[in-house]
């Protein structure tokens, strides 16, 4: 492309000035409202909004999303729900993932809009079918409760299980609660109890574990803790992770008995190494608080990240607190060599990806885009295509970080090269323009 002439430059500047002036007149009521609350737009903010409007009108779905959120949040302009919904819906119809999800959440919760389950269901269904983990869980919940569509328990379980398979903490937690509820209902029927006893006698480890639970709590059978322990330990010895997790609680790790502590640690570790989310979290806690093991915050951090990866993100909050402690008291022995960077470098790419995704979506943990970017980046540099796509989305949408089209394109290209369809789609839709906006 040849350098622009002075006249071309002047014409472009005149057109932009006219566009910005028109846009500022369009936004004047909102600006006046902002000034009444003590918020004033800077020239750069006004220019940035004008750019967003220009890109949105030219078809950029990201700009449409940003404009919709600007009107929804009411920080730079007067809040205008009609304008917000119009722009978000326009972006969603162009396939913008975050716009679809925001619309679904708005209509599902009735926040800023009249609650409309059918509209929420429409957008959630599209995202779920495209593979969005949190949308799959929400679709399952809507089908379970008959919100937006006819109640369908089988389909609900299908979608919730799919989300759980992808490591969604919300889905995994809900499945466990459903399984406990179903088990209690099942144990109320003699035929079901007899079938469970028969399967356990034949060596079915899941049945041994469940029957042991029944004896432990007295559900449908006479309470018998000795029988319960024997059955659960039998299933644990056969390698059943749920039983191994339960077996750890038969032994006190804090009683002062070395033998008891070793048994508690053994079963916790066995279950954790098989990907049991609660056991992995507990093992992280044992290393954090020196329970049955020497205190080792690096090992603790690794297990907390792994736990988040297999569906229990609670340890991420513990990690934050550990970092805060070491920033205040770096002389503490456990802080030697302990940094989030070291934890990330020693964690596997899939766990890092799922940890970052939970933080990005607010799945089982408070949403935090800055923390999400930290974990996702370590996964992305190791070549995880899902993490590369999510990092690209963070940079393209400016979620918790400066917006950068160049960075978005870079990560989308890497993900697309590995066959990530969402990343390939974003590359096609990402408009040419300045690298920073």
pLDDT for the residue numbered 432: 53
Q: What is the dihedral of CA 355, 358, 361, 367, to 10 degrees?
A: -90
What sign results for the dihedral spanned by CA atoms 35, 41, 46, 49?
A: negative
Query: Two tokens at 303?
Result: 């297990």
Measure the CA–CA gap between 67 and 20, rounded to whole angstroms: 15
Q: How far is CA 161 from CA 137, 287, 321, in A?
A: 8, 31, 32
Long-range contacts: 192-197, Cβ < 8 Å, 24+? 192/220, 193/220, 193/221
Q: From the CB of residue 329, how many other CB atoms can be counted at a distance below 10 Å?
A: 10
pLDDT for the residue numbered 50: 84
- The answer as to CATH 1.25.40.10 being correct for domain 29-166 is yes
Measure the CA–CA gap between 231 and 201, rounded to whole angstroms: 10
| Domains of the chain, residue spans | 29-166
The interaxial angle of helices 258-273 and 297-309, nearest 10 deg, is 40
pLDDT for the residue numbered 30: 41
Which candidate, 284, 297, 305, 283, places its Cα nearest to that of 326? 297
User: Which residues, 6 or more positions from 52, have their beta carbon under 8 angstroms from its beta carbon?
Assistant: 63, 66, 67, 70
Which candidate, 144, 177, 179, 180, places its Cα nearest to that of 159? 144
Which candidate, 162, 127, 165, places its Cα nearest to that of 309? 165
pLDDT for the residue numbered 13: 38
pLDDT for the residue numbered 41: 67
The whole-number mean pLDDT for each consecutive block of 10 residues of the chain, a chain of 437 residues, reads 34 36 40 43 77 88 91 84 94 92 94 93 96 96 97 96 96 94 93 96 97 96 96 98 98 91 97 98 98 96 97 94 96 94 96 97 94 97 97 91 88 97 88 50
């Amino acid at each position: 492309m040849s350098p622009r002439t002075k006249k071309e430059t002047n014409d472009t500047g005149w057109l932009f000035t006219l566009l910005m002036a028109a846009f500022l007149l369009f936004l004047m009521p909102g600006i006046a409202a902002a000034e009444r609350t003590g918020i004033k737009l800077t020239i750069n903010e006004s220019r940035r909004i004008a750019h967003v409007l220009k890109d949105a009108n030219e078809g950029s779905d990201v700009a449409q999303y940003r404009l919709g959120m600007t009107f929804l949040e009411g920080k730079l302009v007067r809040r205008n729900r009609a304008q917000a919904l119009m722009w978000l819906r326009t972006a969603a119809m162009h396939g913008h993932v975050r716009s679809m999800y925001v619309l679904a959440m708005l209509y599902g919760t009735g926040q800023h809009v009249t609650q409309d389950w059918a509209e929420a269901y429409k957008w959630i269904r599209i995202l779920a079918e495209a593979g969005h983990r949190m949308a799959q869980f929400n679709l399952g919940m809507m089908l379970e409760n008959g919100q937006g569509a006819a109640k369908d328990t089988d389909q609900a379980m299908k979608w919730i299980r799919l989300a759980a398979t992808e490591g969604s903490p919300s889905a995994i937690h809900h499945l466990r609660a459903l399984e406990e509820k179903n088990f209690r209902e099942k144990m109320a029927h003699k035929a079901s109890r007899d079938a469970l006893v028969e399967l356990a006698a034949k060596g079915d480890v899941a049945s041994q574990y469940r029957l042991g639970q029944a004896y432990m709590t007295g559900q449908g059978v006479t309470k018998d803790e000795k029988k319960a322990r024997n059955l659960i330990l039998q299933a644990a010895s056969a390698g059943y992770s749920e039983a191994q997790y339960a077996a750890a609680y038969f032994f006190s790790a804090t009683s002062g008995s070395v033998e008891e502590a070793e048994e508690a640690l053994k079963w916790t570790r066995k279950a954790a190494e098989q990907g049991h989310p609660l056991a992995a979290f507990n093992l992280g806690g044992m290393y954090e608080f020196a329970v049955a093991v020497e205190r080792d915050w690096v090992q603790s951090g690794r297990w907390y990240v792994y736990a988040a990866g297999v569906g229990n993100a609670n340890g991420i909050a513990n990690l934050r607190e550990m970092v805060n402690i070491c920033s205040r008291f770096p002389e503490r022995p456990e802080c030697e060599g302990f940094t989030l960077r070291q934890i990330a470098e020693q964690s596997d790419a899939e766990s890092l990806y799922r940890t970052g995704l939970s933080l990005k979506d607010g799945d089982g943990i408070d949403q935090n885009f800055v923390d999400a970017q930290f974990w996702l980046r370590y996964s992305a540099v190791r070549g995880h295509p899902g993490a590369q796509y999510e990092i690209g989305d963070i940079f393209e949408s400016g979620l918790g970080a400066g917006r950068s089209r160049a960075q978005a394109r870079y990560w989308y290209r890497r993900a697309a090269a590995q066959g990530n369809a969402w990343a390939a789609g974003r590359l096609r839709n990402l408009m040419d323009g300045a690298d920073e906006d």
